[in-house]
Structure 1
Amino acid sequence: MNSYLARQPVLNRDKDTIGYELLFRDGPRNSFPEIGDEQATHRLLTDNFLSSGNNDVTSGKKAFINFPHSSLLNRIPLLFPKKSFIIEILETCKPDDELLDAVSELHRAGYTLALDDFTPTPEWNRFIPYVHIIKFDLRATPLAKASFFIRRHKEKGSRLIFLAEKVETHDEFTAAYEAGFDLFQGYFFSRPEIVRKKALKPSALTTLRLYREISCSEVDFSKVEQIIATDVTLSYKLLHHVNNMTYTRAKPISSFKQALVYLGEEKLRRFVTFVATSHAVENKPESLYFLSLQRARFCEQLSQQLQSRLDSNQAFLTGLFSLLDSILEQPIEALIDQLPLDKPVQHALISRKGHLGGLLRLAIAYDQADWKAIKRLCRALTIEESVVAETYLDSLKWATVFEQTLPSKP
């Protein structure tokens, strides 16, 4: 049996990623794979926490795990260290005496607990003293009702943390922020926050110029060197990064040309992807950069698994540029005009067409744990669902390892 999961980032009020909810299924009726809630949770825990003691797929951040009623009554979380994850009490749990006993015991043991998709009702009131986080689904609970609940508890000096789920647009993030939410979950950062055309900042222009160069089939290292040399911070990051990778050398690398030649085309593309992008727009959530990198690797690796093998570099660029409109705050159509991308990549990015578009739709569906869409796309691309799952997990781990080798943001 394979382990299938996706993850959704959880951000704080500064848009910093503090953790990820790990998603094994798409609601009670699973379509990918077809197993029950209890088995899904147990499989996720076994594959990601039991053997290693830490979870690679959360990049070292907090994990939010859904627990059904029976798992809580059986005290399954007690099998794991209390810092392993945050326990989410599913909304399908019955708020009976047995559940209250289990929740209070977990609370006393030092575990962090959250009420998932919370709806204020009298029968849940007695659970609130034992939980730390309350999650409101903005699609199910009116924001005004959630805001009233939050305000009432904060006025009483409550230390509860409130999390807004399914925040899909920047306007929704702003409204939830003003309503008093502390944490946010959703994909509002995965689309442009500003859709009107505006002038790019100098740092963003530098990034776009670098993107243009790495989009070519053969990278012109001299041109890349000239671009990087005009930016002091970027220059420092490049040399710092390469010397970290080559610390065993007797003589450090001191020139941009040496650094670029050492990296080579593939590693240079990765460097530009993460460091230059984060340098260009520093007020964006860190998850955005990681997701770009992970999607690029996912599309690249999966392109070689298809019956009609695709150009792996084109697949990498498709995943890499899938969030470019959000990163540079420009419509994707305007940005595509400034990049020498092949037609299949353009069609994939603008209209999600072609085999590359199918790969990108598959990556997005997996990000959102849309198992029905995944099943449909796997049939269309004639690829096994198990292969997609393994590739997704491998891309998460690869992106995590790569991210750890890079210098931090300034």
Structure 2
Amino acid sequence: MIPLGLKETKEINFMEPFSDFILEHYSEESSIYMDAIADITDTRQACKTPSRDLLGVALLFRYYNLLYYVERRFFPPDRKLGVYFEWYDSLTGVPSCQRTIAFEKACILFNLGAIYTQIGARHDRSTDRGLDSAVDSFLRAAGIFRHIYDTFTNAPSMDLKPHVLDVLVSLMLSQARECLFEKLKLQSESSGLTGSSLVIISAGPQSTELAQLFRDLGGEAAQLSLEYNEMHKNIQVNDTHTYLPECWAGLVPLKAELYRALAHHYEARSIDVKVASKIGPVTSLKDSFVGNSREALCVTQCSGESNEDSASFIAIKHTHLREALASYEEAQRLQRMCRFLKNKTSLTQAIKEANYQAQEEYENFRIRASANKVDESYDLVERVVEASSKVYIDLNWTRFHVVQSGRSF
């Protein structure tokens, strides 16, 4: 998962400009409000280095809510206060300075979204609870970036530009969908429907459920591949890749290929289960319908299906496995080409294991197809897994609750 870094800022002391404004504009003694001004100053100072957890989220929310009152009382539209907000771009490190409170609010919101991305990336994705929490965090981050996109104009820094924010929103939504995909895999494994290599396939409701599960996983993986592929195109078209970290620009097309491979792999398995249920109990995916073409032809003859239908299933699985292997190899190539990704052992291991499983199934298929004299020329030129998802992902923009306690202005 890709987390975002926070924007950095310089210290500001609100005491002098706010005191002068109170005396001049409201004709009141500023000493009455010294504690309140000091509280705002201290809160902003703490926001420079917030903790990367829910306490940091609460701190940034508190300061953002305080800015609501500060804007109403000290930043009238017809007058510029002598306060300059300077922030550093989280992507390029270039400083930007403005006197508008809108810039300050946008930067605080950006850091709020960035913390949510870091929280989401740290969750334990080996449990349902951890995956649900990660989805929530990524959706909150996406909602915050979309809010900045919709409300903040004339951004002085690159990380607040509309085309960059649009990429960040897409990235967070895709990472949330990744967590849902992992949750579906986890639920299928915990229910005993699937395993690394062995399953029990027999005619009946369980085989139908297993075939549908593989189709669902294939559709979700294809949807992820589509989203990452579109994201990669957008990054290249608007030159966002020149500002994004190199590891990000490399990971997006890699994930597009990886999920394309998974989509074809799961689609091939769904074909196994679909037709293996007609043969009878099978102890392994390797011994399924397509793995034993002679039995398949016998079954289709008994069931009234033509030999062409049987050969079609064989050709379809053959094509899906070849497409999966090609995409796995492309994902490995993209990792090797990126200097920031080639040493990521966890990523290397994940791609290697998935590729090994597909290679093992493909080699077993080839051996059995050759032994049973299956005509390899009966093949398909191309096979596409249709992107589909049963989950609609929407932006989960966090509501702002204005802080009432401790209000002194």
Between structures 1 and 2, the one with greater strand share: 1
Of structures 1 and 2, the larger Rg is shown by 2
TM-score, normalised via structure 2 length: 0.24
TM-score, normalised via structure 1 length: 0.24
Between structures 1 and 2, the one with greater helix share: 2
